[in-house]
Structure 1
Amino acid sequence: MPATRSGPARITAENWSFRRADRAAAVLHGLDFSIAPGERVLLLGPSGSGKSTLLHALAGVLGDGDAEETGTLALDGTHPRASRGRAGLMQQDPETQVILPRVGDDVAFGAENLSVPPEQIWPRVNDALRAVGLDLPLDHPSSSLSGGQKQRLALAGILAMQPGLVLLDEPTANLDPEGVLEVRDAVASALADRSATLIVVEHRVEVWRDQVDRVLVLNAQGGLEADGTPREVLVARGEALAAQGIWLPEHLPELPPFNSTPGRQLMTTESLAVGRRAVAAAQGLNLEIQAGQALAITGPNGSGKSTLALTLGGLLKPISGVLKAEPELADGLGAQPRSWKAKDLIARIGSVFQEPEHQFVTGNVRDELAFGLRHQGRRGTEKEGAEKEWAARVDELLEALGLADFAEANPFTLSGGQKRRLSVATVMAAKPKLLILDEPTFGQDALTWAALIELLRTALLEGSAVVSVSHDEQFIEALNSRQLLMPEQPESRLSDPRLTSERRPGR
């Protein structure tokens, strides 16, 4: 790409703290560090430790006018808000960063806003798309991209800007294994000349540990826990960091073996084709979903996994073929979940979207968890008794998923990992017979990941079915899941998905 950067950025923090207006405690507390121009830094910490907040602060986009900020945080000696455009931020949810309807225009948007000369913009766009492995025409509709493809699109837009500071928040979280390496290598290649400083947030350490000079670790209170070379931090302090939830290959979570007993059929499909706007994303699907059984939908990004999940959840109409809710699931309703009322759907099928924010409908975490319970319309239950039952269920989930301290917080102010746990908990609250989860372990540290596994194992043992879209092999194994592999086809048109009926061995 044309070398027109203004040079790599220098970052300094001196006793810097940040507290949101709706929180009693600071999100980040007393940070002291300095990052030299061109350094590559891996930022680690348990879920909710303030990693994303720090990246937003460095990008100058925190935007909370009532927040309290003390100490100094500087980018090239000035407050980051005075240096907007100097940093390029890829957020956890790439959906929020897709702006324009065509791929090429979206990648060019940032560079255009930085007044890059027009003759330089399109070469940058083409180079950036090539670097992230997004081999699509410039006029391809951005709305048709999968979640993983949107992540690559967002990264391409940042690379085309050629900022002095690149901030990546879980850039590979929703990518297939091949895509993870492509994006990591694209970042390494684009910044090989040290023309930009890099800070990357990831929970899975092994992806980036050999690509960075330095590791910063935040603790659960938002303070600086460790700072040093990868060897100094990850090897010398590995056991202590693992105890706080940091994902280290040498200290992976230990889980007992798990098996559940399949029960009655809940849902079947025959020659099912799914898609949007009458364009098939996947077809020829013959599935049997049973109570007490886990099924993982896997495959490359763009292969129709999320579209299938939405269709199974009654939220998209099948293009063709048969999708049937069996009597055990329908419980007196019709065989087509798409035709059920919302209160009936909540009690039978719980769907977790790839973007957690799309599910939130109330102003605080506790109400969010109680929402489905209050609207599922249980028959024959006195309101007063039901409220006590609901409150007990909400408290149980808050405690199990580490959200008790945030019960009164606005869901949209939570960290990415906390939002994901909340989105899973909201559908689990009503104990539906079928759980459909899209990337349920996104943004989780090792401890919250294990807590989520425990909850889902309990749901399976109680007779619910769990269908998950996931690239997380440990998660798939922990639930002893069957796998549906969705093969990649041109233009995301798929055929002959292969369902493996044998179960993976439990841990």
Structure 2
Amino acid sequence: MTTGRPSPAAIHVDGWGWRYAGRAAWAARGVDLRVEPGERVLLLGASGAGKSTLLAGLAGVLGGEDDGEAEGALTVGGRPPAEARGTAGLLLQDPDAQVILARVGDDVAFACENLGVPRDEVWPRVRQALAEVGLDVPLDRSTAQLSGGQKQRLALAGLLAMRPGVLLLDEPTANLDPEGVLEVRDAVRSALDATGATLVVVEHRVAVWRDLVTRVVVLGADGGVLADGAPEAVLADTAGELRRAGVWLPDTTVPEAAPVAEGDPLLRARSLMFGRGPAVTRGRRRGRGRAVNADPVGGPLDLSVAAGSALALTGPNGAGKSTLALTLGGLLPALGGSLTAEPALADGAPVDPSAWRSRELLTRIGSVFQNPEHQFLASTVRDELAAGPRALGLDAGEVTARIDELLDRLALAAVADANPFTLSGGQKRRLSVGTALATRPRLLVLDEPTFGQDARTWEGLVGTIADLRRGGHAVVAATHDAEFVAAIGATDLRLGAAEVAA
């Protein structure tokens, strides 16, 4: 088997479409596209327009007839994607889905070894790829210890180490801190300059990639290609089509946050130390948790959360934002200090949120994980939204009213009967937010809530959170989205880098 670097490859898409099994609507349809070897394409479109589905099709990972129905044709380098092994490399929206092995170095080396790269060439590639994406951790670091953003860099490093002729990147800078965004973009630029590889990158935010790409293609929400051409021509949007479609244009403005009066205190932390790991033991019903030889991610810190308030947890990848969010959400015990639910939140439950049962959490604290799929339970979007209200014992009429309101508000009505796992990344994120909203908790804890959103759905989430605050609910959000922080009027709690990843 040859181990040389694959030549840049052409991509041909002819009337292509894909419909997931069990879905009435097509995820993508009527797509016609020609990408020449070495072209650098930014693929835009509204949330749910089929961008990720197209990349998965080009990578040959959509599966067979049992997974869905295809029409039209795709080729990469003149061959069907499934036969173009090693030619195209795909970075998925969900980095967890691409972590295979237990140690960082082994995970980056995995694809190279599968392609038959000589052993003495594999590890220099591994080290170079990790350096290019700015993931400065030991090769034997456990992949389970990495933050979501660090896993994203890890997945990209594995892709670059393969040295494919086509790079297919699905929102590669999502969940990264601002410095990491630039590092990853520059790593991609270096790889393209060195190899001449063809690039198709999906993003909602245009500014990061505008100067790197040579072409912009916009998929229509109802199928086909809405726009295609040089970046300056397409992004000028002279007819206003892209703005109406929800595409994030460079001059897109964000709403200003209206002031909200804060109410009763809900949650208070004093000298809080937070982290997670197998060394943590918990006394759930008595509210007594203790840590044995635990290694905290961060702290000590003091904070308070009041009704109507918004708190943003910001900082670099690995600083502990997700871990702190899980702790404030009652899903991890404190490793030191105290975390106390005030009477307005506890309402008769133990003062330590980590001692609460799931039913006690439902109306008190709703948590949205960084990976939406980690909290899906049902086979349809409607049933997913209904799970919490039904667990509360609400009558059928009230459940239906809540679900219909959320489906409309979160732009999910068209996929109400779809399997949650077949949704686009942005739709999955909105669904995960909806599952937390359905039980109307006093405190909502969100991890990267704006991931995968187009301009319209992003504004919808901001409006939903503004309404929550006005209604006396509190919001805590771990995020890298500075515009989101400003738009919801959140207080910014910036965490420093930590030795232990969140």
TM-score above 0.5, yes or no: yes
- How far apart, in 2, do the equivalents of 1:71 and 1:477 lie? 44
Aligned to 1:193, what secondary structure does the other structure show?
Answer: helix
- How far apart, in 1, do the equivalents of 2:92 and 2:424 lie? 11
- How far apart, in 2, do the equivalents of 1:70 and 1:334 lie? 56
Check whether the contact 2:446–2:478 (CA below 8 A) recurs between aligned residues.
yes
- How far apart, in 2, do the equivalents of 1:450 and 1:366 lie? 22
- 2:295 corresponding residue in structure 1: 279
Check whether the contact 1:41–1:198 (CA below 8 A) recurs between aligned residues.
yes
Of stretches 151-160 and 449-458 in structure 1, the one that deviates more from structure 2 is 449-458
Amino acid at match of 2:301: L
Amino acid at match of 1:58: L
- How far apart, in 2, do the equivalents of 1:237 and 1:40 lie? 23
- 1:348 corresponding residue in structure 2: 364
CA offsets 1:196-239 (integer angstroms, 9 cap, x no match): 11110000000001100111100111311011110111124473
Check whether the contact 1:41–1:199 (CA below 8 A) recurs between aligned residues.
yes
- 2:418 corresponding residue in structure 1: 409
Q: Across the two proteins, how many residue pairs are aligned to each other?
A: 484
Q: 1:292 to 1:236 in 2, by over 3 A?
A: closer
Aligned to 1:367, what secondary structure does the other structure show?
Answer: helix
Q: Are 1:400 and 2:415 an aligned pair? A: no
- 1:362 corresponding residue in structure 2: 378
Check whether the contact 2:147–2:501 (CA below 8 A) recurs between aligned residues.
no
- 1:505 corresponding residue in structure 2: none
- How far apart, in 1, do the equivalents of 2:64 and 2:360 lie? 39
- How far apart, in 1, do the equivalents of 2:347 and 2:474 lie? 15
- How far apart, in 1, do the equivalents of 2:239 and 2:200 lie? 21
- 1:202 corresponding residue in structure 2: 203
Structure 1 residue 3 displacement after superposition: 9.1
- 2:387 corresponding residue in structure 1: 371
Q: 1:238 to 1:165 in 2, by over 3 A?
A: farther
Q: How does 1:30-429 map to 2 (within 5 A)?
A: 30-66=30-66, 67-237=68-238, 239-253=240-254, 255=255, 257-277=257-277, 278-377=294-393, 386-429=395-438
- 1:479 corresponding residue in structure 2: 488
Aligned to 1:286, what secondary structure does the other structure show?
Answer: strand
- How far apart, in 1, do the equivalents of 2:274 and 2:268 lie? 14
Structure 1 residue 257 displacement after superposition: 4.1
Amino acid at match of 2:267: M
Aligned to 1:106, what secondary structure does the other structure show?
Answer: helix
Aligned to 1:280, what secondary structure does the other structure show?
Answer: coil
Of stretches 480-489 and 14-23 in structure 1, the one that deviates more from structure 2 is 14-23
Check whether the contact 1:176–1:299 (CA below 8 A) recurs between aligned residues.
yes
Structure 1 residue 73 displacement after superposition: 1.0
- How far apart, in 2, do the equivalents of 1:122 and 1:257 lie? 50
- How far apart, in 1, do the equivalents of 2:479 and 2:203 lie? 17
Q: Where in structure 1 are there 5+ consecutive unaligned residues?
A: 378-382, 494-507
Amino acid at match of 1:419: K
- 1:497 corresponding residue in structure 2: none
Structure 1 residue 313 displacement after superposition: 0.7
Q: 1:238 to 1:469 in 2, by over 3 A?
A: farther
Amino acid at match of 1:373: P
- 1:438 corresponding residue in structure 2: 447
- 1:380 corresponding residue in structure 2: none
Aligned to 2:18, what secondary structure does the other structure show?
Answer: strand
Structure 1 residue 492 displacement after superposition: 5.0
Amino acid at match of 2:375: Q
CA offsets 1:129-185 (integer angstroms, 9 cap, x no match): 000001111111111110000000000000001111111100001001111001000
- How far apart, in 2, do the equivalents of 1:243 and 1:252 lie? 14
Aligned to 2:154, what secondary structure does the other structure show?
Answer: helix
Amino acid at match of 2:47: S
Structure 1 residue 337 displacement after superposition: 1.2
Of stretches 27-36 and 418-427 in structure 1, the one that deviates more from structure 2 is 27-36
Q: Are 1:459 and 2:468 an aligned pair? A: yes
Aligned to 1:242, what secondary structure does the other structure show?
Answer: helix
Structure 1 residue 248 displacement after superposition: 1.0
Q: Report % sequence identity.
A: 56
- 1:499 corresponding residue in structure 2: none
Q: 1:69 to 1:483 in 2, by over 3 A?
A: same
Q: How does 1:488-499 map to 2 (within 5 A)?
A: 488-492=497-501
- How far apart, in 1, do the equivalents of 2:433 and 2:51 lie? 21
Of stretches 298-307 and 275-284 in structure 1, the one that deviates more from structure 2 is 275-284
TM (norm. structure 1) is 0.93
- How far apart, in 1, do the equivalents of 2:257 and 2:340 lie? 32
CA offsets 1:281-325 (integer angstroms, 9 cap, x no match): 011110100000000000000000000000111111111110001
Structure 1 residue 4 displacement after superposition: 2.6
Structure 1 residue 69 displacement after superposition: 1.6
Structure 1 residue 464 displacement after superposition: 0.5
Q: Where in structure 2 are there 5+ consecutive unaligned residues?
A: 278-293
Check whether the contact 1:252–1:446 (CA below 8 A) recurs between aligned residues.
no
Runs of 4+ aligned structure 1 residues displaced above 3 Å come to 236-239, 489-493
Amino acid at match of 1:30: G
| Superposition CA RMSD, Å | 1.5
CA offsets 1:428-478 (integer angstroms, 9 cap, x no match): 011100000000000000000011111111111111100000111111111
- How far apart, in 2, do the equivalents of 1:267 and 1:387 lie? 32
Amino acid at match of 2:38: G
Of stretches 65-74 and 167-176 in structure 1, the one that deviates more from structure 2 is 65-74
Amino acid at match of 1:402: A
Check whether the contact 1:20–1:64 (CA below 8 A) recurs between aligned residues.
no
Amino acid at match of 1:288: S
Aligned to 1:136, what secondary structure does the other structure show?
Answer: coil
- How far apart, in 2, do the equivalents of 1:448 and 1:360 lie? 20
